[in-house]
Amino acid sequence: MDWNDSSKSSDSLQWIGEDEEEVNSNTVPFHSSSNFNTHEASTSAGPHSSLFSYFVGMGFSKNMVVKAIKENGEGNTNAILETLLTYSMIEKSPSECELIPYDTDSSESKMDDLDQLSDISSCLGDEETIEHLSDREKKFLQLMDMGFPIDDASSALEKCGPDTSIMELMDFISAAQIGKIHNPQLHPILDENKPGSSNFHTTPDKKRKKLFEAEERWQKKVDSWRRRQKESYKERKKSLLHEDEETVRVPKPMKGFGLPNMQMTVFNRKIPSEAIGPPFFYFENVALAPKGVWDTISRFLYDIQPEFVDSVYFCAAARKRGYIHNLPIQNRFPLQPIPPLTIQDTFPLSKKWWPSWDKRTKFNCLNTCTASAKLTERIKKALESWDGEPHPKTQKYILFECKKWNLVWVGKNRAAPLDPEEIEVLMGFPKHHTRGGGTSRTERFRSLGNSFQVDTVAFHLSVLKKMFPHGISVLSLFSGIGGAEVALHRLGIPLKNVVSVEISNVNRNILQSWWDQTNQKGNLIHVADVQKLSIDRLEELIKSLGGFDLIIGGSPCNNLTGSNRVSRDGLQGEQSILFYEYFRVLNDVKFLMGKV
DNA sequence: TAAAGCATGAAGTCTTGT
DNA sequence: ACAAGACTTCATGCTTTA
């Protein structure tokens, strides 16, 4: 390939620290992407303009595109994109934002509320807009979004005050709905006669019994009403989302486009001409992301259908991931040696202590956190309280913890979390890959939990071996501890140039150590922040290295994974939004290499 | 100060029972 | 067919400990 010929082999390692990097003034996901500049329309941007169809073609709704063009002007493509991305996409799609309360009767109080809120009711997902609202206004909007009638929401806020929690407000409205609010003693917010309160114990027995019964009946009604409310809200949400028609479905079993030693399933794989490599690209993220996320990812990556694979077919641990790439899928081969595929084969010593009632043969997904010593102690004590086989309830509890924390049996009644070394091997890394160099045990678990399963990825990358017998130049985004690099190396593909983009200092050190220890002949260049990898910097790199053969990376899953209880915000989440940086860099590189 | 411990569910999908 | 239960999930943020 011509853009490879200009590569200069230099054995010196370059290090670009965070401080040394040029600061790009434009840090929005789509800064200065030349790919988009080519689409800048200077003329009419109405519903039939090329600009309009371009954005609609990307999957944005027509209304939103018109709105975004109107807001930003016709010439400012990047700003339009930013608007579309920030305000309208996926989870916070325009259709969802247009949710309106089903009770549209008018009254003065309602009109007041509506007038006050008319500006922001158009899009609840707009945090910037919502931030300046009072607590009362936010709660009112929340209640409306949940489908409560305006009257009820308004009156609940009036009577309970703006400091009342949403749950309590819901209870209040529920009670009002079923007519019990007229007896404030039966309402949890206002009820001073609840069991446990001082007044309750002074009530005569008969009355107390009645109160109990009444409260039970009331509670049941509220529960069922709340359930119905929740379901109808979900239904409406679903039907609105359905308009966008999701196309990506996660198959089960997750075997991708074929596994080692498995006859290739006939698959109609279409890669659009603009997506065909070189450069090749390979993108990874969690398979079980919130609904719509993979539709969006796929839409941005040339509508290529994701390959969903569970690493349970490559090692003894599950790891359900989706991969979007433009690699050929014929003539793949697995890494050798094939790792043991069961827990018992991976840890033969555990067989002696493995209880018959623990039927696991595979680990669940290896996560970033590990079980504490206290938990293993509790398990030991629970087991020691039984002479022979523990009570089914005890078994259930222990199995629950074992599955949740991926515990192995290491002695009599002794379950233990996996050591970092054991996780390294399960993930396909060399033993001690993350050990030493100032990396704490906690950090090792975190880094490993965030990594590729090497055998799985290597199987997909194996097709590159014949294509690049003299070495490959890789742009590795979100490198982590170097799963992609290790996979290519283990496949026997020489690493000519590797530009590794990784924010964590710990991870950069781990990759550098591995690079040094494996006597790599090529160049390893570190970049800390993908957002600072500007198109100018990319141009420099491509000129000096001769281009990239492979752009590989798994963008942050923090806001996509089910294990995140705090901020599972979808692709627009704080970290997961960096997916758009992968997309941006891919497009910039393709443009710079004259492939667009 | 850094590392380890620990409490914190929802959102899906699949399975089972009626 | 439907409801109810079982199962899994590249984590975060606060507190305690060394």
Task: Note the pLDDT of residue A393.
Answer: 86
Distance A413 CA to B5 C1' (A): 22
The structure tokens 């109405």 sit at A46
pLDDT at A410 over 90: yes
Between A186-195, A263-272, A340-349, the lowest mean confidence (pLDDT) is in: A186-195
pLDDT at A242 over 70: no
A450 Cβ contacts chain C strand, under 7 Å: yes
pLDDT grade for A442, boundaries at 50, 70 and 90? very high
* A284 beta partners: A323, A554
Task: Note the pLDDT of residue A209.
Answer: 39
Distance A364 CA to C6 C1' (A): 15
pLDDT at A283 over 50: yes
Instruction: Give the type of residue at A464.
Output: L
A562 Cβ contacts chain C strand, under 7 Å: yes
Nucleotide with C1' nearest the A291 CA: B12
Task: Note the pLDDT of residue A143.
Answer: 61
Q: What pLDDT, in 10s, does the model give residues A71-81?
A: 776 666 556 66
Q: How far apart are CA A231 and CA A153, in angstroms?
A: 19
Q: How far apart are CA A261 and CA A314, in angstroms?
A: 11
Instruction: Give the type of residue at A472.
Output: I
Q: Against a cut of 0.85, is the pTM above it?
A: no
Distance A508 CA to B12 C1' (A): 35
Q: What pLDDT, in 10s, does the model give residues A512-533?
A: 999 999 999 999 999 999 999 9
Those nucleotides of strand B lying less than 7 Å from any protein Cβ are: 2-14
At CA A586, angle to CA A582 and CA A590, rounded to 5?
175
Q: Are the C-beta atoms of A366 and A315 separated by less than 8 Å?
A: no
The CA–CA distances, whole Å, from A301 to A296, A311, A535, A568 equal 9, 23, 19, 22
Those nucleotides of strand C lying less than 7 Å from any protein Cβ are: 7-13
Distance A227 CA to B18 C1' (A): 21
Contact partners, residue A225, CB within 8 Å, separation at least 6:
A174, A177, A178
* A475 beta partners: A499, A551
Nucleotide with C1' nearest the A565 CA: B9
The structure tokens 């996409």 sit at A89
Contact partners, residue A162, CB within 8 Å, separation at least 6:
A134, A135, A136, A139
Distance A225 CA to B17 C1' (A): 25
Distance A185 CA to C6 C1' (A): 39
A497 Cβ contacts chain C strand, under 7 Å: no
A296 Cβ contacts chain C strand, under 7 Å: no
A403 Cβ contacts chain C strand, under 7 Å: yes
Distance A568 CA to B8 C1' (A): 14
Higher pLDDT pick, A14 / A335: A335
Task: Note the pLDDT of residue A531.
Answer: 96
Task: Note the pLDDT of residue A53.
Answer: 54
SS3 for A374-435 is HHHHHHHHHHHCCCCCCCHHHHHHHHHHHHHHCEEEEECCEEEECCHHHHHHHCCCCCCCCC
pLDDT at A386 over 70: yes
Which residues sit close to strand B, CB under 7 Å?
A: A 250, 252, 290-291, 369-370, 372-375, 438, 440-443, 562-566, 568
Between A259-263, A294-298, A436-440, the lowest mean confidence (pLDDT) is in: A259-263
User: CA torsion A300→A303→A305→A308, rounded to 10°?
Assistant: 10
Task: Note the pLDDT of residue A173.
Answer: 64
Question: What six digits make up the tokens of A302?
Answer: 């040339």
Radius of gyration, CA atoms only, chain A: 29
Question: What six digits make up the tokens of A206?
Answer: 């008969």
- Give the three-class secondary structure for A15: strand
pLDDT at A105 over 90: no
Nucleotide with C1' nearest the A570 CA: B11
DSSP for A563-589 reads T-SS---GGGSTTGGGHHHHHHHHHHH
The structure tokens 């910039």 sit at A588
The residues of A between 308 and 337 with beta carbon within 7 Å of nucleic strand C are: 318-321
Sign of CA dihedral A106, A112, A118, A121: negative
Nucleotide with C1' nearest the A446 CA: C10
**Nearest protein residue to the C1' atom of B9, measured from CA:** A565
Distance A366 CA to B11 C1' (A): 20
Between A117-126, A155-164, A281-290, the lowest mean confidence (pLDDT) is in: A117-126
Q: Are the C-beta atoms of A73 and A42 separated by less than 8 Å?
A: no
Distance A231 CA to B9 C1' (A): 18
Nucleotide with C1' nearest the A478 CA: C10
* A474 beta partners: A498, A550
